[in-house]
Amino acid sequence: MRFATYGRKSVYSDKSDSVSNQERMCREYAQMRFEVESFEVYSDEGFTGANTNRPGLKRLMEDIEDGLVDALIVYQLDRISRNVKDFADIYSTLEKKGVMFVSIKENIDTATPIGKAMMYVTMVFAQMERETIAARVADNMRGLAKKGLWIGGNPPHGYTSQRVEIDGKMHVAIFPDPEGVKYVNWIFDTFLEEKQSLQSMETAFKNKGIKTINGKFFSLSQIRNFLTTPYCVEDTPDVYDYFSSLGCQMDPGSPREKWDGTHGVMVYGKTTHKTGSHTRQAPDKWIVCIGYQKPFMPAEKWLAVQMRLHENLFDKKMKYDVPLLKGILRCGTCGCLMQVSRKKRQYGITSHYFCAKRKRQGMEACDMKSIKCDILDEKILSRLREIEDDPALIMDYIKDDKPKRGKGVKELEIDISRICAKIERLSEILVDAGGSAAVKHILSQIEKEDMNLEALKREFEIAKTEEKRERKNKRSAEAKVAEITHLIRGMDGFSATEKNAILKELIKECRWDGETLFWRV
């Protein structure tokens, strides 16, 4: 049987079994109870079970739809989903495709009516648990918001954290750090006085040898985090109006009339923790209230910086056409997404792709030189025209991470037929041999060929799976050729932005190493 296993690690808890442990237990379970011909692993680490928007799960369901899986085994039902409707949809697909489903921990047999019923009951409780955890987290954040206390982790720039006793309970609060306060104010003043963009500020800091407290050069995101930190600003009505205009959840316990400038601002839910990093959430997810801490920055200065940041972000009008590979092309040396610069020449404006890392951190960080956009855009277009003329060329650009195996289905069928015929001949000889001394030797030969036959049958099943995968890739290739034809034939009718958008959908990987343009669809 062709087995697949799916593992997931929740974003809410670090106590659940790791993805690798889930895989190991599923593999051992399958090998102990079934004849495993192939074992494919699908996983998503750092993804919630509240929805099915997970890359590993999507790949699994695609392969199930294509008939590449005979059995799906998971460590626990809620690894698939914690939503009853989503799980029901997934299980319906499994039934339609005849895929056996096994969940180790619950030991549920879905072949019986009572087994199916127990499975759905388990899913109801899993969904209830997820919703309870989410509600508990939200209630905890709201409880902290009422007191304006620090939720934990590293304190924000310009503050240190200390434990304080409030109403007989110990909590964590933040207090201004004199040296940190000077540092943060200097960053804000520099941004306002120099009238720089974030990128030019990063480059200027690099050129002047200015580093962070930890002794490293500033990155773009670090400067942005400094300039948008809300905890240090006075809680004035104008600051309340600013956060309210962003669509934030303004805590009812901190009404506007209480924002008198005597405290700092506390924002909860600004980021979420995912796969070892913090992801910024939309402002409508933030809970904003009056903080316990003392502020150290005037509201006027802080708001002036926010306005500058918004102007830099939103007030840029597109003066030039978008190059074809903008937002697609990466530096072949460091992997950084290449940006576009424009220079005014005597004969007009020229556009270049350049490595943003080199520009910000210098040649020692990356030695990739800039190149005219027209050169690389024409390279990609010439390849696309060749594919339109000869669709078979698309296979050179299809991204395929699966290693190619040995013999194909037809070759294995011939080998299987040959061994079956050999076993049949040996069986006939065995009958004629009667009780002679040759019987033992003939039986040994039959046993050996029978083992070879079983090995070939397993290889045959794997080859059939790969053949289905190849047919799937071929269908994907045909769809890509259709997209390319659509782009090339309608080139004159598309705007530069539309052409760029089409290529973003089409091209999955694109790198320039200074000599060769490497790309995959």
DSSP per-residue codes, 233-281: B---HHHHHHHHHTT-EE-TTS-GGG--SSS-EEEESSEEEETTEEEEP
Dihedral (Cα; 155, 157, 159, 163), 10-degree rounding:
0
pLDDT band, very low/low/confident/very high, at 134 (cuts 50, 70, 90): low
Instruction: Report strand pairing: 249-250 vs 71-74.
Output: unpaired
| Model pLDDT, residue 243 | 95
CA geometry: angle 409, 412, 415, nearest 5 deg: 155
Residue carrying the six token digits 């934030």: 248
pLDDT at residue 76 is higher than 80: yes
pLDDT at residue 343 is higher than 90: no
pLDDT at residue 140 is higher than 50: yes
- The CA distance from 331 to 364, in Å, is 15
Cα 309–chain centre separation: 27
**Is the whole-model pTM more than 0.85?**
no
Strand order in the sheet with 2-9: 38-45, 2-9, 71-74, 100-103
Instruction: Report strand pairing: 371-372 vs 330-331.
Output: unpaired
Q: Which residues contact 505 (CB under 8 A, 6 or more apart)?
A: 483
pLDDT, mean of residues 159-179: 89
| Model pLDDT, residue 317 | 47
| Model pLDDT, residue 352 | 93
Closest CA to 450 of 433, 431, 414, 426: 426
With H, G, I as helix, E, B as strand and everything else as coil, classify residue 169: strand
For residues 519 and 319, the model is more confident at 519
In the predicted model, what is the mean pLDDT of the chain? 83
| Model pLDDT, residue 315 | 44
Q: 118-127, 332-341, 352-361, 488-497 — which one is most confidently predicted on average?
A: 332-341
The total of other beta-carbon atoms located within 10 Å of residue 230's CB is 22
In contact, 54 and 47? CB cutoff 8 Å: yes
Cα-based distances in Å from 411 to 2, 89, 456, 474: 20, 39, 11, 21
pLDDT at residue 276 is higher than 50: no
In contact, 358 and 436? CB cutoff 8 Å: no
- The CA distance from 408 to 356, in Å, is 46
pLDDT band, very low/low/confident/very high, at 369 (cuts 50, 70, 90): very high
For residues 325 and 152, the model is more confident at 325
The total of other beta-carbon atoms located within 10 Å of residue 417's CB is 10
What six digits make up the tokens of 399? Answer: 């991204």
| Model pLDDT, residue 263 | 95
pLDDT, mean of residues 219-234: 89
pLDDT at residue 339 is higher than 80: yes
pLDDT at residue 70 is higher than 60: yes
pLDDT, mean of residues 397-421: 78
| Model pLDDT, residue 462 | 80
